[in-house]
């Protein structure tokens, strides 16, 4: 219990703040890009994808495509015409992805994954409302510090990622014996507690990214995005690929 009680938590609100994080040793990074990458990744694993290869640039995705890989992804406000799938969770509810390896590149989420990888934490996990219980159960068995890395929107703060961070912290801090010294972690919990009773309604009125997605007719995924525990998976980065840790580490 004494080592457990020294575990710390922290929330990073934007890729631009990642280098200023306080936790830099013995830690697990949880990536959150609720709209839409991390919700979609959880969904793909629920629907049986074997692995997902997150890549940062459209050019990397194109190179994989030319080698014969299936490519999923989007750039909002830009084209990504050669992709086989977009980045909406509903698209991954599809038997065609079963046992496949899919290359995945998105506006914000895969950028954060790439940055996290360069930092070489002990583990990199994918979090969303869709796998929050599976993820928190997984974390509660760990002894490492936890850093929740919100992808944001092109380096801007996004409320939906932060509220998710608060929801996850609420589930792990007390039970897991974590210490919270971090202003952003306290604030995430406060923002979660202010919005949780009417989560989707609150996000509709406060999350600018939802208006952006609505404009591009990418709003079909909203109710699903804010539904808890649709996916009993914990996507985790093994070298350059995401796989479901619940299967890999059974």
Residues engaged in binding a second copy (CB under 8 A): 13-14, 16-17, 20, 22, 154-159, 162, 181-184, 186-187, 190-191, 193-195, 205-209, 211
Bond prior to 92 in cis (omega within 30° of 0): no
Query: Can you tell me the distance from the alpha carbon of 157 to that of 94, in angstroms, rounded to the nearest whole number?
Result: 32
Residue (187 or 232) nearer to a second copy, CB: 187
Residue (69 or 186) nearer to a second copy, CB: 186
Let me know: does 134 contact 233? Beta carbons within 8 Å: yes
Residue (45 or 153) nearer to a second copy, CB: 153
Residue (166 or 176) nearer to a second copy, CB: 166
Smallest distance, a second copy to C-beta of residue 82, A: 29
Smallest distance, a second copy to C-beta of residue 15, A: 10
CB neighbourhood size of 24 (10 A): 13
Let me know: does 147 contact 12? Beta carbons within 8 Å: yes
Residue (57 or 211) nearer to a second copy, CB: 211
Query: Can you tell me the distance from the alpha carbon of 68 to that of 51, in angstroms, rounded to the nearest whole number?
Result: 15
Distances (CA, A) of 131 to 8, 41, 44, 81: 22, 10, 12, 30
Smallest distance, a second copy to C-beta of residue 147, A: 13
Nearest to 235 by CA among 13, 49, 8: 49
Smallest distance, a second copy to C-beta of residue 157, A: 5
């Amino acid at each position: 219990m004494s080592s457990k009680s020294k575990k710390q938590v922290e929330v990073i609100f934007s890729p631009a703040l990642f280098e200023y994080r306080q936790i830099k040793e013995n830690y697990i990074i949880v990536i959150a890009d609720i709209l839409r990458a991390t919700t979609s990744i959880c969904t793909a694993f629920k629907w049986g994808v074997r692995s997902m290869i997150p890549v940062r640039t459209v050019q990397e995705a194109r190179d994989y495509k030319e080698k014969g890989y299936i490519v999923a992804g989007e750039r909002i406000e830009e084209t990504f015409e050669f992709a086989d799938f977009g980045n909406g969770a509903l698209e991954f509810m599809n038997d065609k992805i079963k046992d496949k390896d899919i290359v995945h590149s998105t506006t914000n989420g895969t950028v954060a994954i790439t940055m996290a990888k360069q930092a070489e934490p002990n583990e990199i996990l994918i979090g969303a409302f869709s796998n929050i219980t599976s993820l928190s159960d997984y974390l509660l068995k760990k002894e490492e510090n936890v850093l929740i890395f919100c992808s944001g929107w092109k380096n801007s703060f996004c409320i939906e990622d932060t509220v998710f961070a608060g929801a996850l912290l609420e589930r792990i801090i007390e039970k897991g014996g974590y210490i919270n010294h971090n202003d952003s972690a306290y604030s995430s919990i406060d923002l979660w507690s202010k919005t949780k009773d009417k989560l989707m309604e609150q996000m509709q009125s406060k999350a600018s990214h939802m208006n952006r997605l609505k404009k591009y007719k990418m709003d079909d995924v909203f109710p699903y995005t804010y539904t808890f525990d649709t996916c009993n998976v914990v996507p985790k980065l093994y070298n350059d690929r995401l796989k479901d840790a619940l299967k890999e580490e059974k």
